[in-house]
Amino acid sequence: MGELKLYSMKAAFDEIMATAVKRQHELQRIVGDLLTAEINEKQARPIKYQLTIAKLPLAKDIADFQFDWHADQSDAPQ
């Protein structure tokens, strides 16, 4: 699978095979699950890349926001 550049399929192989043996899946189901894993990763890879190069700011937790507004401040949200 590595020679064919099916890295996601290779990474998911052990988990898919363990599930297939336990639930007695047919060969078509196993191959379908492997292909689905590869397709999902190939679709997600460009999105991950775009998010990386976008250099978006880190997500904030609610604790990171400042809620110290006072009613007498002129720029307080209404």
Please state the pTM of the whole predicted model: 0.63
pLDDT tens readout for residues 56-73: 887 888 887 777 776 565
Cα gap 54→1, rounded to integer Å = 31
User: And the tokens for 53?
Assistant: 């190069």
Q: Which residue has the tokens 């988990």?
A: 15
User: And the tokens for 61?
Assistant: 């937790």
pLDDT tens readout for residues 28-60: 999 999 999 999 999 999 999 998 899 888 788
The residues near 25 (Cβ < 8 Å, ≥ 6 apart) are 19, 33
Question: For the chain, which residues make up each domain, given as ranges?
Answer: 7-55
